Amino acid sequence: MTVIGCKEVMQELSNFLDGDIDESLKTDLRSHLTRCQHCQVVIDTTRKTIELYCDGELFPLPTPVRDRLHEVLRRKCQSKS
Amino acid sequence: MTDSSQTALVKDEAALVTEAKAGSYPAFEELVNRYEKKIYRLGLNITGSPEDAEDVLQETFLKAFQHLPDFREDSRFYTWLVRIGVNEGLMKLRRRRADKTVPIEDQVDEEGGVMPREFTDWKPNPEQLLAQTEMKSILDAAAQSLPPTFRTVFFLRDVEGLSTTETADLLDLTESAVKARLFRARLQLRENLSKIFKRG
């Protein structure tokens, strides 16, 4: 196992979150996280950031917008089909 | 309801695309029903404006219908639709900035160079602490503070679930450029939200 520092963890942060790193690096990174509260917080809160944006309830399609879409499509597309 | 009747209701997407290409408006409308929410959210996330997002939504499906015969089915229908939606969204931004000198393409040092500054943990379950409208406006403001292509990469990869390759292809970027922008976007959003959600 190789001891890695905070800089290496930050460089691999995205790949780690995406599960896109090899097993030995993942082990080194996890070992660092058990010792480094700062990096653990950055990883956890980055993951939480992504979760918040994935909440579909926050970006609903308003009914009037949907109605206007279907009205436009029916008018412009249905006649051509 | 039996499994077979459910299967019958949830019509296979490839069959719908084939029918729509053959001129069936009901088949096309079924495809619209499946993806309208996602395309609206995509428009909203790229442009940051409900009015522009509605234009993106309408233009995306109108162009999809118009160009459906050209869809070669070598990618997912949704990815093809997203490509049209992203182009429409970025075009909106370009028009909005036509009289300004702000470039739409953001220069990025792909070697990184961004380091986090906020190391305080967040309060648990921030989404339960705020009203939905307040949370939405916080997320909107944080997202709109990012350069457009950073924001677009973040939403395509992390929210819409496109792969790095699909995102690179769609935005005409290299895969390493997509990864660099995604890394910057994630960190920047986290920094912005940390200022609001941190403990203490």
Confidence class for position B127, pLDDT limits 50, 70, 90: confident
Residue span(s) of chain B under CATH 1.10.10.10 come to: 126-197
Asked if B16 and B30 touch (Cβ cutoff 8 Å), the reply is: yes
State yes or no: pLDDT of B4 exceeds 80: no
Residues 141-160, chain B, touching A (beta carbon < 8 A): 143, 154-155, 158-159
Compute the distance between CA of residue B149 and CA of residue B182 in angstroms, rounded to an integer: 10
**By a Cβ cutoff of 8 Å, what residues of chain A touch chain B?**
7, 10-11, 13-15, 17, 37-38, 41-42, 44-46, 48-50, 52-62, 65-66, 68-70, 72-74, 76-78, 80-81
Lowest-confidence region among B29-43, B107-121, B178-192: B107-121
B126-197 maps to CATH 1.10.10.10: yes
Asked if B40 and A70 touch (Cβ cutoff 8 Å), the reply is: no
Q: What are the tens digits of pLDDT across the range B51-64?
A: 999 999 999 999 99
Residue B189 near chain A (CB below 8 Å) = yes
Q: What is the pTM of this model?
A: 0.85
CB-closest option in B61, B115, B126 to A73: B61
State yes or no: pLDDT of A10 exceeds 70: yes
Q: What is the DSSP letter of B127?
A: G
Contacts of B23 in chain A (CB under 8 A): 81
Confidence class for position A58, pLDDT limits 50, 70, 90: confident
The pLDDT, as a whole number, for residue B5 is 47
CATH fold of B12-96: Rna Polymerase Sigma Factor; Chain: A (1.10.1740)
Contacts of A50 in chain B (CB under 8 A): 158, 186
Confidence class for position B95, pLDDT limits 50, 70, 90: confident
Q: Above pLDDT 90, what percent of chain B?
A: 60
**Could you give the ipTM of this predicted complex?**
0.89
State yes or no: pLDDT of A48 exceeds 70: yes
Residue span(s) of chain B under CATH 1.10.1740.10 come to: 12-96
